[in-house]
């Protein structure tokens, strides 16, 4: 029981800081520009930023310790390529990119929710579908987390299956120096598509906004760890229960003539069971370099955030317009 007051104190402190930040920094801006309709989303956004600070601290202090202590790849000439990934992480974890995506998708999500409810559909609650869960918040979270990861697995496969989507996602795979910072290395349109799909899916299965934020935070931390440059393994059983650096590194492996489709494996963000069930899992102890065997995509390395975003958008546009793509290749 002695721990309960401490936990309550921490929660009270968290809520107090959130309220202070909102009332001091956000609310006056909303009031000034006549955006008080965004009052509630704005309050939630402050918590998202606070959680982002926590995630960055975990990555920079905790995960980086393991990378420094037990690196898989030693220091080399590609170390400078990591800097832009840190920019991606800060922009995403502190909510700059998610906030822009939220502003763009919020009206659509609201319209979809209203339309679905007008059809008489009410998102299911686990307490009704699985009565044995009862009021067990942890059990409820785990079930929703598994559903979230199942959806993310298939979305990830889509990123590799469709040429126009791969044009965006290839930015994530172009990194030759994979580290804990690499997870957020994505094009903003790619992030927008994934976020919109996961939010709509979460609403469909009945995930509440507060639950979704926690699921997202935990999932993204695990995904950051799965990109870590560490020479560690969870063991035979652990590697089949949770995605780790060794399992996910194979998904980022540079393809060769002998392993042309090596990246079409190990898609799962958190739980390898999806790869095992659907025949996309590979387990071996071979260490492979990471990157993409496409000179145009590999050229993303060494570019800054803005140039990367612009260049990848160009690839995306060409992939959507085959005729223009053929003309460009004929020049």
Q: Within 13 Å and on the Cβ side, how many CA atoms surround 327?
A: 5
Q: Under the phi-then-psi rule, with left for phi > 0, alpha for psi from -120 to 50, and beta for the rest, what region is 185?
A: beta
Of 100, 97, 68, 103, the closest CA to residue 82 belongs to: 68
Tens of pLDDT, residue by residue over 138-176, are 888 898 899 999 999 999 999 999 999 999 999 999 999
pTM of the predicted protein model: 0.86
Look-up: residue for tokens 């989303």? 41
Closest alpha carbon to 181 in 232, 219, 228, 245: 228
pLDDT, one tens digit per residue, over 270-303 is 999 999 999 999 998 788 999 999 999 999 998 9
* pLDDT, tens only, 166-186: 999 999 999 999 999 999 999
Backbone angles phi, psi at 37, to 5 degrees: -65, -20
> Quick one: 173 exposed, middle or buried, by C-beta within 10 A (0-12, 13-18, 19+)?
buried
Query: What sign does the CA torsion over 259, 254, 62, 231 have?
Result: positive
């Amino acid at each position: 029981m002695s721990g309960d007051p401490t936990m309550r104190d921490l929660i009270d402190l968290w809520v107090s800081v959130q309220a202070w930040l909102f009332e001091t920094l956000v609310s006056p801006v909303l009031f000034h520009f006549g955006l008080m309709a965004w009052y509630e989303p704005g309050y939630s956004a402050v918590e998202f930023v606070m959680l982002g600070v926590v995630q960055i601290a975990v990555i920079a202090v905790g995960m980086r310790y393991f990378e420094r202590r037990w690196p898989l790849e030693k220091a080399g000439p590609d170390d400078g390529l990591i800097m832009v990934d840190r920019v991606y992480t800060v922009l995403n974890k502190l909510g700059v990119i998610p906030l822009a995506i939220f502003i763009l998708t919020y009206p659509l999500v609201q319209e979809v929710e209203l339309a679905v409810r007008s059809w008489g559909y009410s998102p299911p609650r686990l307490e009704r579908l699985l009565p044995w869960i009862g009021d067990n918040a942890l059990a409820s979270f785990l079930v929703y987390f598994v559903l979230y990861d199942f959806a993310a697995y298939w979305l990830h496969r889509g990123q590799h299956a469709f040429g126009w989507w791969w044009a965006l996602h290839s930015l994530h795979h172009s990194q030759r120096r994979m580290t804990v910072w690499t997870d957020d290395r994505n094009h903003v349109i790619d992030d927008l598509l994934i976020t919109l799909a996961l939010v709509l899916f979460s609403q469909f299965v009945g995930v509440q906004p507060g639950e979704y934020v926690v699921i997202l935070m935990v999932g993204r931390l695990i995904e950051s760890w799965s990109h870590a440059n560490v020479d560690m393994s969870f063991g035979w059983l652990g590697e089949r229960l949770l995605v780790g650096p060794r399992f996910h590194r194979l998904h980022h492996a540079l393809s060769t003539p002998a392993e042309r489709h090596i990246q079409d494996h190990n898609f799962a963000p958190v739980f390898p069971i999806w790869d095992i069930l659907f025949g996309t899992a590979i387990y071996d102890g071979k260490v492979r370099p990471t990157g993409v065997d496409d000179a145009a995509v590999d050229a993303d390395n060494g570019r800054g955030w803005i140039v990367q975003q612009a260049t990848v958008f160009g690839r995306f546009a060409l992939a959507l317009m085959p005729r223009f793509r053929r003309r460009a290749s004929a020049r």
